Amino acid sequence: MSVALDKRPVPKSLVGLVFVLFWVIAILLWSFSHLLPTMGGRGFMVDIGIVLASIALATPSLGTLRELRTAAIMGIVAIALFAIGDLAQITVMVYALRVLVPFLALMTPVYKLLSFRVFA
């Protein structure tokens, strides 16, 4: 992918689609998490919902396709870390991620306002 395509602004229709779709998936995951038989599986399902809701919350503040792609990659990394933490029962790691992931999403509009790029 060329640099010129990375610098294009995110289309508003894509922002709306990602925002609504990820929130719907997150709510469904939270609603059906109680159906899994193991505690680790239930926690992991809830944590995937947290990551998707955080990406959805940050999406309107992301300016370019590169930033959106980087946020998605960071979301995949967060899901992998949640999988390790939930299934290996590393409680400190899980709770640290549960605080850090939404915090970064909530700070994205502030970063945009201050021209500080996390997802650069």
Domain count, the chain: 1
Does some domain include residue 88?
Answer: yes
Does some domain include residue 3?
Answer: no
What are the tens digits of pLDDT across the range 55-90? 999 999 988 899 899 999 999 999 999 999 998 999
Residue 44 burial (CB < 10 Å; 0-12/13-18/19+)? buried
User: Which helix (H) or strand (E) segment is 12 a member of?
Assistant: helix 12-32
Average pLDDT over residues 47-62: 95
Residue 102, pLDDT > 90, answer yes
Closest CA to 69 of 4, 120, 11: 120
CA 60 to CA 98: how far, in whole Å?
Answer: 21
pLDDT at 5: 63
Domain residue limits at 98: 11-113
Does some domain include residue 38?
Answer: yes
CA 15 to CA 96: how far, in whole Å?
Answer: 28
